[in-house]
Amino acid sequence: MRIRRTLIIALAGFAVAGTIFAKQEAMTHEQLVASLDGVQGEPLANLKRLIIAEGMPIHDALYTGPAATAELRAKLRAELRAARDATALDKGLVVHEWGSVMVLANHDGATVGYLGDDKSDLPPFVHTIEQHMQDQPMVIRKPILYFYTKQNNQLLGQVAIHARHGLITQWYPKATSVQPRYHGQLPDHLPVANGNIHWSGVRLFTDGSQDASLPAVDADHPWWHIARDVDAATVTVNGESEKFLFYRGVNRFGSKVTVKGSESDGRYALHNTGKHTIRNAVMMRVNEGRAVYQLVPALEPGQKVTVSLADASDWTADTSLARFTEQLEADGLFPKEADVVRRIWGKFFFKREGVRLLYVMPEPRADELLRFSIHPRPADVARTLIVQVECATERMTHRIAELIAQLGDQDYKVRERAQRQLERLDRFAEALLRKAVAESHDVEVRERAEAILKKLEAKKAPIK
């Protein structure tokens, strides 16, 4: 991007008797940011005003520059975001959404599928479909809608979510309707398509009058009380109140970015198979509290990029979290919202060992998967859905497959040993075990896989 702006003459190399003149210069954002180095006094003040006037389009260029300007560049990025946020709030109703979708992929890039619809981290008051959805390629986790308004007791006629290729399975507060509807006994397999949820007659309170109506949550709950730590309005609908609207579900479609890689040489091939540009994707490996990562600034539709974690940047988890949190703000979240995401997911994303790809889903893609409508229409909307692709290594995939095959071994001791080892493995084993239950023709394998899954489910004690 090129800009035309009036630059102070001190930067262009002209000054007469201390008088500041101006002339027209054509500069890229990168050149403008580079001009910060070594400038002081009034020239610096004018340059800062020029950068702020550019708005958010210059934001990412401020990540790059000499160490001497790092603190200044960070302050300018914060000022840009603050100015954007203030402008949004002045427009009227503001709606922000954050959440994540998780996909498991094996070493050759194929989606593993068979993800479990885990309800163990939910407080008991959350409404759910009383059936586990255990065979989907994508789990939609914690989408949360915050509402900001200057009008106390504002009425929203409707807030609706439509999952074209998915199903809404959990929500709070109580919804006016959830579709598809089933009367009596639920079918063995719910159709995962055209899921809808809507809340009618939603009230937004900014005066704190409804805060006492929020349901009690234990202080040691892993995330619900943290999600309340924002300046959003309190939402009251159908006799229930909360600081947000929450929903969760499953989806039949996986990530539009495939990952193929090798643990041995640390090289991973990313391929954007979608029709939208992916920005600031992070390929990372976490081991013993340190994250090595490669940032891909832009991955265009159809583009293939190979990244190497063998020579990647080496950051501590805390440093990675700081950059991650700031990027969430750049993508549209308010500072307190970004901090909520950091506190809830930071440990999992940046401290849990494994190889993963993280990127923010382009808003057009988010609208394809989870289209929402709000009446009256908000003045400003920001959707930040983080796609988390957990990548199994070739060694891990083969080892799990071997253990599952051993569940049907003729030797009883081999079957028992394989079962014990599978019970200690992570979500990849769990997903492949569900696949074995659904697809294996060996009765012994199916029965032992089901027994392991029951033990794993028992470990996920519901939160009281």
Locate the domains of the chain by residue range. 2-91, 93-258+316-386, 395-459
Band of the pLDDT at 402, cuts 50, 70, 90?
A: confident
Q: What is the mean pLDDT of the chain?
A: 82
Band of the pLDDT at 136, cuts 50, 70, 90?
A: low
Distance CA 307, CA 230 (A): 37
**Where is average pLDDT lowest: 66-70, 190-194, 370-374?**
190-194
Closest CA to 433 of 189, 135, 187: 135
Note whether 131 and 119 are within 8 A (CB). Answer: no
> What is the DSSP track for 189-214?
S---S-EEEEEEEEEEE-SSTTGGGS
Note whether 317 and 290 are within 8 A (CB). Answer: yes
Q: What is the pLDDT of residues 241-252, one digit of tens each?
A: 999 999 998 877
- Kindly tell me if the per-residue pLDDT of 81 is higher than 50: yes
**Where is average pLDDT lowest: 9-18, 81-90, 114-123, 381-390?**
9-18
What is the CA angle 126-104-113, rounded to 5? Answer: 80
Note whether 294 and 306 are within 8 A (CB). Answer: no
Q: What is the pLDDT of residue 244?
A: 98
Which of 6-20, 261-275, 395-409, 415-429 shows the highest mean pLDDT? 261-275
Mean pLDDT of 194-210: 95
Measured from the Cβ of residue 183, the count of other Cβ atoms closer than 10 Å reads 5
Distance CA 128, CA 42 (A): 60
- Tell me what percent of the residues of the chain surpass a pLDDT of 70: 82
- Kindly tell me if the per-residue pLDDT of 18 is higher than 80: no
- Kindly tell me if the per-residue pLDDT of 203 is higher than 80: yes
Residue 206 phi, psi (nearest 5): -110, -5
Give the rounded distance of the alpha carbon of 423 from its chain centre. Answer: 28
Where does 113-220 show beta strands of DSSP type E?
127-128, 138-148, 154-163, 166-172, 177-179, 195-205
- Kindly tell me if the per-residue pLDDT of 132 is higher than 60: no
Closest CA to 342 of 206, 226, 209: 226
